[in-house]
Amino acid sequence: MPRVQRNKEKNPDLVALGLAIRQRRKVLGYSQEGFGDACGIDRSYMGGIERGEHNLAMVNILKIVQALKVNPSEFFRDLDPDRKFELINGEKAIKEASSLKKSVGLNATSSTKKRPTL
């Protein structure tokens, strides 16, 4: 049976919202699984939300807002066009920097190498 191809284009609003959720979750110190538990949402589904792959039901939005400890108006400010642009481009910059570090062989242990003294 042939596989059905899903549209790979993600809605920029859902991507921005997912990035905002991920950033706030990390600030609060939650793992994705722990945050999913706090919201009553499965970890894999939460991952899809953070990647902008799921259109959220209102009940899930309310669970997430409560777990993030933010006001609903603050939650939706990330859909402002300027803020959305900052979130998406900021995430791209982080990924590019991480990729660059890997390509030149930098990692957490590289800072422990001896530096030449002057």
Q: Which amino acid is at 47?
A: G
Closest CA to 22 of 30, 97, 92, 94: 30
Specify the CATH class of 12-104 in words.
Answer: mainly alpha
Which of the four pLDDT bands, split at 50, 70 and 90, describes residue 39? very high
**b/e string for 14-31 if b means 16 or more Cβ within 10 A?**
bbbbbbbbbebbeeeebe
- Residue 54's contacts (CB-CB under 8 Å, 6 or more residues apart) are 14, 45, 48
How many Cα atoms sit within 13 Å of 49 on the Cβ side? 23
Q: pLDDT higher for 115 or 69?
A: 69
pLDDT tens-place string over residues 61-111: 999 999 999 888 888 876 776 666 666 666 665 666 566 666 666 654 444
Distance CA 46, CA 99 (A): 24
pLDDT of residue 77: 75
pLDDT tens-place string over residues 21-38: 998 999 999 999 999 999
pLDDT of residue 76: 80
